Every structure is written in C-alpha cells, then in structure tokens.
Structure 1
Amino acid sequence: MKKKKEPLSLVWKHHKYKYLLIAPFATIFIVFTLIPVVVSIVLSFTSFNMVEAPSFNGLTNYINLLVRDDVFLIAIKNTLLFALITGPISYIMCFLFAWMINELPPVPRSIITLVFYAPSISGNAYMIWKLIFSSDTYGWANAWLLKLGFIQSRILWFETAKYVMPILIVVQLWLSLGVSFLAFIAGLQNVDKSWYEAAAVEGVRNRWQELWYITLPSMKPQLMFGAVMQITGSLSVSQISIDLAGFPSASYAGHTILTHLHDYGNVRYELGYACTIAVILFFIMLLCNIIVQKLLRKLG
C-alpha cells in the first residue's frame, strides 16, 4: 500500500526550521534567477525596445536569429570553438594544479594557491595582455620578435582576424584557475586518508591508481561543480573579447554569443531579440551540463 501523504500543515510543523533556513537562499534564487529566466523566455517571443510596450511576434525572433542573422552563426562557431578548447583544457589544468599543490605543506600550499587564483579575480588582468600584444613597437611581443629577427614589421595582433581567437584562448586559459581550482583543492583536502591505506592493502600500488580508484570517486561533488563552472565560463565569454579585441572585433573573429547579446541588449536596446539570444545560450549551457553530469555519474 502507498504511504499516505502528510497534510501540508504537518509537513510545515515537522520541517519548519529547515524551510526557514533555506528561505533566504530560496528567495534570492527565485527573485534574481528563476524569475529573470522566465521573463526572458516570455520576452523572447516579443518585440521590445524598452520604450514601447512589448508586442507579441511569435517565433519571428528565433527565425531571424537562426536563419537570417549571419553574425550570430559566426558567434556560435566562435563560442563552440572557444568552449571546446578552453573548457576541457582548463578543467584538467585546474585539477592537475590542485592535485600537485595539495601535496605541499600548509603554508606553501596557501601561498601558491593565492598566486594561481589571483589572476581570475584581478580587475586589471587584461592590462598585461594588452601590453604584451600591443600593435605598436612598444608591445612586448612585437618588440622581441623584431629584436630576434622573426618579423620585419610590427604585427597588428588584434586588428588581424587570424590572431584574435588564439590570443583570446591563451588569455582565458591563464584566467581559468578560478573557483573550480579552489573547489578541487577543497575536495582533495576532504578525502579520507585512511582510504589510501586500505587501498594499499587491497593492491593499489601507485599514485595513478590512487587517483583513479579513490581520489576521483571521492570528489564527485567537486568535480561536478567544477564542470558546471567551466562550462558556464567557457560559453559565456564576452568581456575578454571586448577588452582585448574591441567591439566589434576584426571580421567578428572574437565575436561570441554573449558579445552578440551585449550588442542587441546594451547597444541597440532590442530587448526582445536579446532575450532570444539569452534563451538559446541558456539551453546550450543546460544541454552541455546534462551531458557532463551523465559522464561524471559513471565515475566510480
């Protein structure tokens, strides 16, 4: 027989303190995440310019975006290329650096962790790359290449389309040791050391076997969190492109989905069309997260 459900009054009476504890987060999540997502989906089916009231136009925005907007197709190509390269590489980098740093004594570990994490939170992180790839002879890259005789004249790094995406990928990888990196270090710190001793008794003989059979299965929550953060970060690149390559970039070489969203939302104020772009990006992220979660569930 099915267990009879408790009345809501009894559920509240038995669990009210739990609900009160999660109420602040739930309120913030609903107001600043859930409601904006729902409103964006609704506005994506309208024509809205912030001056006039939204007018329903059905699938017009989606048809124009996916069929007639050639720049958006370039943005999709650039975003997926960027994500396929930086996402996996930065994810592996975060874990490997965290794994190596975790073996250090507490004080050196804390210092090196700060050194690696600092670029991701620095507000002026792009300035050094602007200096390195400055298009004049004062740029470090041009200066050294000219001095060593590899080039005869300065290279216009961000004005030449073929250089834009490789540079952006390098910068993103440099900035990628962020929240995922800290989560992995925290996960490594919480692995029960007695499991390694038990594994040695069972026949585990080297660090790679420990990593595969103990460490990774023990860190599934942190691995999942890191994957979500890396997917979100690699698919939502915009500020790097705008700050380094300009807006718009040369031949749209650095144009991404989020940059396209910025164009229609913050420059043209076509909010209905911008919401359509946001919805497409949201579902791409959602699909990628579902795929990664299924892969990680098979671990261990």
Structure 2
Amino acid sequence: MGIEFKKHKHAYMLIAPYFLIFLTFTVFPVLMSVCLSFTSFNMLEPPKWVGWQNYARLFVQDDIFLIALKNTLLFALITGPISYMACFLFAWLINELRPKLRAVLTLILYAPSISGNTYLIWQTLFASDSYGYANSFLIKWGMILEPIQWLQDPRFVLAILILVQLWLSLGTSFLAFIAGLQNVDRTLYEAGAIDGVRNRWQELWFITLPAMRPQLLFGAVIQITLAFSVAEISIYMIGFPSVDYAAHTIVTHLVDYGSIRFEMGYASAIATVLFTIMFATNFLTRKLLGKVGE
C-alpha cells in the first residue's frame, strides 16, 4: 500500500481536493441525515433519541406518505425507463446525421430541459378556462361542452406531470449518450463484420452498447435521480399541497416536514427511505446493464 501510494502520490494529491469536498458536502450530510432519522429534532432543541419511531410513524401512521410513495413509484416506473430509452433512441438517430444538422437537432431537443418558461407553457396548454389550448381544441371539435379543470382534477394531475417530465427528459443523459456514440471506436464495427455481425441491430447490441457502458450507467443514474426526486414540477404547476395529494411525492413530503414544519428528525427519515429506494434501484440497474451485449 505504501509503495503504491508513493508511486501515484501526485495523482492522489490532484484528486484530494475533490474527495475532501465530496466527503464534506455529500458523504457527511448523508450520514448525519441517517443518524438524525432516529431522533426527534426541531432545530431549536437538542436532538432526542426516539429509535425506530419515525420509521414506524412513516409506514403505519402517515397516510399522506403512503400516497406520496405510491405516486413516486408510479411516476418513476413510467418516466424512468421511457425517458432513458428515449434519450438513447434520439441520440442514436441523431448520431447518424451530418455534423451541422446533428448539432442543430441536439440543441433543439436539449433546449426544453434548460428552458426557464417550461411551466408557463404547460400551464397555458392545460389552463382551466376555455382559453387553454387543450380545452379550446376539445370544445371546438365538440368533444367536451365545458372546460376541464386539468390541473385541479385529481384524475388528470399525475398524468400531466408524467407528460411534462417526459418532455423535459432529453437532458444530461441525452448529451452523454451522444458523446458516447461519437467515441465508439469505428474499427470495432469492421471487426464485428468479420466475426459475423450482419445488421444494425446486432451492431447495436454486441458493439455499440457494450462500448458505451460508462455512458449508459451515467445516464441511468441521472434518469433514476430525476424520476425519484420529482418535486419542482408538482409545486410550480399544481401547487403545494396538490388537490387530494394527487401530485404529492416523497420529495414534496420531505419539503413539507423539513422546510415548513421543521421536524428535521422525521424529514431525515423520509430522506433516508428515498435514498434507500434510489440506491437499490441504481444497484439493480447496474446489474442489468452489466448483461448488455452478452
């Protein structure tokens, strides 16, 4: 160990600042949150140890959390895989185009994920009066007689949030996939043709995807994080809290108890549950991506 350290000491010195920042602002807060989840802490008095009481309250007494858990899992189950595959599909198709056209289409598809007026566009589209584009279209064609309260009706709220999230999904993962496709060694395709690869689908499965495993894993982590951490869309579009908690998620529940009620011990328990779910999902995804190309 000492010999290896001396051999690579310059590399360790270069990465030391990053690890210091990572430990200070990521690892330490996570560990602190886990510890606080076993306490009652209101930020005014010292934490009081309560053991598993916060977790028992979450899963036994807190009906709103169970609604948030159901909404989050449903949201992630739909948006996670679909947005992940959409990112790769669009990146794969765009990669086949000429450089200038590829750059323009990449900008067009990536723009919604960084647009500042996203919620204004969708609120206008699903406005509750007859001036909303959705209501105006349906009334004009005789499909409905009076405007639908899209953003106030629990039947439509979650579906609209899923639609908006899918529209915003071509973000960082999309760019990572394009970069990965650009860096695949072209000689691999020539070698594959000699070894019996006969069509584009075989090229994709046996050459392209295995060569892009780092980007695929990175994209999976990003999409999983986005799928489970949804809150901003719900708060800005639907309001907080949403009607009948139809758009309530684990993160909005965390915001409620952490930023409004200041029950930091209970909020830490919510955060720990969310972290555990995301960690397990990431672990399963790594296992699945490890089988790509086999």
One fold, TM greater than 0.5? yes
Which residue is 1:49 aligned to?
A: 42
Task: Provide, for residues 100-134 of structure 1, a one-character-per-residue CA deviation record: whole Å limited to 9, x for no partner.
Answer: 00011111111111111111112221110011011
> Once the 2 structures are TM-superposed, how far is the Cα of residue 175 of structure 1 from its aligned partner?
0.3
Task: Provide, for residues 253-275 of structure 1, a one-character-per-residue CA deviation record: whole Å limited to 9, x for no partner.
Answer: 11110110011111111111111
Counterparts of 1:25 and 1:127, CA distance in 2: 38
Provide the secondary structure at the position in 2 that maps to 1:246: coil
Counterparts of 2:167 and 2:32, CA distance in 1: 35
Whether 1:139 and 2:115 are equivalent positions in the alignment is: no
> Once the 2 structures are TM-superposed, how far is the Cα of residue 11 of structure 1 from its aligned partner?
4.4
Identity of aligned residues (%): 61
Whether 1:15 and 2:20 are equivalent positions in the alignment is: no
Counterparts of 1:49 and 1:137, CA distance in 2: 46
**Aligned pair count?**
293
1:63-212 correspondence to structure 2 within 5 Å? 63-212=56-205
> Once the 2 structures are TM-superposed, how far is the Cα of residue 245 of structure 1 from its aligned partner?
1.1
Provide the secondary structure at the position in 1 that maps to 2:27: helix
Which residue is 1:275 aligned to?
A: 268
Counterparts of 2:252 and 2:172, CA distance in 1: 23
Counterparts of 2:183 and 2:166, CA distance in 1: 27
> Once the 2 structures are TM-superposed, how far is the Cα of residue 148 of structure 1 from its aligned partner?
1.3
Q: Read off the aligned partner of 1:19 and give its amino acid letter.
A: Y
> Once the 2 structures are TM-superposed, how far is the Cα of residue 12 of structure 1 from its aligned partner?
3.9
Which residue is 2:207 aligned to?
A: 214
Which residue is 1:234 aligned to?
A: 227
Which residue is 1:27 aligned to?
A: 20
Counterparts of 2:17 and 2:170, CA distance in 1: 30
Counterparts of 1:209 and 1:23, CA distance in 2: 43
Which residue is 1:3 aligned to?
A: none
Judge conservation of contact 2:220–2:285 (CA < 8 Å) in 1: yes
Residue 51 to residue 155, structure 1, CA distance change in 2 (3 Å): same
Whether 1:58 and 2:51 are equivalent positions in the alignment is: yes
Task: Provide, for residues 225-248 of structure 1, a one-character-per-residue CA deviation record: whole Å limited to 9, x for no partner.
Answer: 111111111011101111111111
Counterparts of 2:196 and 2:92, CA distance in 1: 22
Which residue is 1:296 aligned to?
A: 289
Judge conservation of contact 2:37–2:268 (CA < 8 Å) in 1: yes
Q: TM-score, normalised by structure 1?
A: 0.95
Residue 111 to residue 78, structure 1, CA distance change in 2 (3 Å): same
Ranges in structure 1 where 5+ consecutive residues have no aligned partner: 1-5
